[in-house]
Amino acid sequence: MDKLTRNFLSIKKRFENKKSYFSKIADRWNRRGKKSLAGQVKLLIADADSRLKEISNILEEFDVSENKYLLKVKINSFEGVYRELYFLTRPFYKRISFAVIFLALIVFVSHNFIFGIYHVSNGSSEATLLIGDRVWVNKTAYIINSPKCGDLIFLEDPSFKYDDNFFQRFWQKFIGIEISRFNLKAGPKRTIKRIIANQEDVVEGKIENKKSVLYKNNELLQEPYVNKLPLIALKKKTGITERDFIGSFKIPENFKNHEKIVLYSYDPKLDFEDQIFYYIDHQNILYDNKTGFVKTYNQDMEIVSKDGKNIDIFGPVEIPKNKYWVMGDNRINSFDSREFGLVDKSRICGRVSFVVWSLDSEEPFWFFEIIKKPFRFWSSVRWNIFFREIK
């Protein structure tokens, strides 16, 4: 007996064992008024019986080796009818469970290996990207090709250390949500930076004419993407609740109210209400206690690290294989290779391709903005940059 015949007999046995169950389901649905579903099941049973008889006749009357292709087609069609019957008559909760698990699997694979849509939560890439942008990250970009200079990349925190336990490491890498009740740890924070130099390049930072400049391979690097606008300090509130618990359930940190200081790019030539990137509320503006002036920061200001050194002065740094020097486009508000050093290729998750949509808000979840400001929500949407390609 060949493989094809054995496969048919196996499916035939499953159908014959389930046939009475399928008929009972159809009768039950008919009594409950689900006549359309009941009729569909009965038609499928009749179709399966007809196909089963046709295949049996081929096996009895013809040479299988000479009619193998025809037999294979008939068996596949019979198997399709049986599969449809099986899924149609499954209990509702099983069908829903299967659909949810299948959908979750598709989302998991797509999100981790194909593409992801991410919220830009800081201003390190202004004015290329703004806080509140939702960007499309192509995670297949570097499967074959290597990251190249000028790419805006999505990367893991280079200083993050994964847990040694395999399951914990898997959870941190692919899920990343902290669930303290089950001792599941959070994954690395992710951010967006631009590749300035890759393997065999030599990069150096200098101050010339009171301005920070970059040299790559002893040539002055031209960077049209670097933010040239000054920054203004603002006080912002996020979250929708003051509570820590609802019953025994701990409220996630993203839902709790927080106050923070943010730095936004702004055009000094325009009024605060007419800014092109962010709506600036006068009530949120911070003032210098000594001078009484608005707290602002020019792009040419000196940025000092913890050890008192100007971080714009570095190198020359020769980039080894599979390492990258990355920096934010908003140089005075970016934590990057000037402080954490080189980035390994394994930390790069993908390339930022375009802005999917954008909302002028610090909130990680867009519906928070609707809850807090239902009448101003639509005016916060940055319609003009939907689907804008990133260069």
Q: What is the pLDDT of residues 252-309, one digit of tens each?
A: 788 888 899 999 999 999 998 889 999 999 999 999 888 889 999 998 888 887 777 8
Res 11 pLDDT > 80: yes
Q: What is residue 65's predicted lDDT score, i.e. its pLDDT?
A: 67
**CA-to-CA distance for 236 and 263, rounded, in angstroms?**
10
How far apart CA 224 and CA 186 sit, in angstroms, is 36
CA distance 207 to 211: 5
**Cβ atoms within 10 A of the Cβ of 277, count?**
19
pLDDT of residue 63: 67
What's the average model confidence in pLDDT over 54-80?
Answer: 79
Q: Cα(first)–Cα(last) distance of the chain, in Å?
A: 62
Angle at 311 between CA 309 and CA 314, to 5 degrees: 100
pLDDT at 141 over 90: yes
Give residue for tokens 């599979």. 322
**pTM of the predicted model, to two decimals?**
0.78
Which helix (H) or strand (E) is 13 found in, with range?
helix 3-31
Please name the residues in contact with 165: beta carbons below 8 A apart, sequence gap of 6 or more.
none
Between 273 and 1, whose confidence is greater? 273
Return the beta strands (E) in the chain as ranges.
Answer: 115-119, 133-138, 152-156, 190-197, 202-208, 211-216, 219-220, 231-238, 245-246, 249-250, 258-265, 296-297, 314-318, 323-327, 343-344, 348-358, 388-389
pLDDT in tens, 177-233: 888 778 888 899 999 999 999 999 999 999 998 889 999 999 999 999 999 999 999
The residues near 48 (Cβ < 8 Å, ≥ 6 apart) are: 15, 78, 81, 82, 85
Q: What is the per-residue pLDDT for 343?
A: 96
Comparing 67 with 351, which gets the higher pLDDT?
351
Sheet-wide strand order for 258-265: 258-265, 231-238, 296-297
Please count the other Cβ atoms lying within 10 Å of the Cβ belonging to residue 110: 12
User: Which of 162-171's residues contact partners 24+ apart within 8 Å by CB, and which partners?
Assistant: 162/188
The Cα–Cα gap between 197 and 195 comes to: 6
Q: Among candidates 210, 142, 129, which has minimal Cα distance to 389?
A: 129
359 DSSP 8-state letter: B
Cis preceding-peptide flag for 316 (omega within 30 of 0)? yes
- What are the residue boundaries of the structural domains of the chain, listed by start? 3-89, 108-204+317-389
DSSP designation for 110: I
15 vs 317, which has greater pLDDT?
Answer: 317
Q: Is 156 exposed, middle or buried (0-12, 13-18, 19+ CB in 10 A)?
A: buried
Determine the pLDDT at residue 39.
Answer: 92
Summarize pLDDT for 341-353 with one digit per residue, the tens. Answer: 999 999 999 999 9
**pLDDT tens, position by position, 164-177:** 999 999 999 998 88
| Residue 226 near residue 125, CB atoms below 8 Å | no
Question: Exposure pattern of 294-322 as b/e (b: 16+ CB <10 Å)?
Answer: ebbeebeeebeeeeeeebbebbebebeee
Mean pLDDT value across the chain: 90
Average pLDDT of 364-368? 90
- Give the pLDDT confidence score for residue 96 in this predicted structure: 85
Number of continuous H segments (helices) and E segments (strands) in the chain: 8, 17
Q: What is the CA radius of gyration of the chain?
A: 30
Residue 354 amino acid letter: F
In this prediction, residue 300 carries a pLDDT of 85
State the CATH class of domain 108-204+317-389.
Answer: mainly beta
Dihedral sign of CA atoms 333, 338, 341, 344 in order: positive
Give the model confidence (pLDDT) of 68-127 as tens digits. 778 888 888 989 998 899 888 888 777 788 888 989 899 889 989 999 999 999 999 999
pLDDT of residue 56: 83
Mean pLDDT of 143-157: 94
| Centroid of chain to Cα 58 | 53
Q: What is the dihedral of CA 324, 329, 335, 338, to 10 degrees?
A: 50
Pairing, β 323-327 against β 343-344: antiparallel
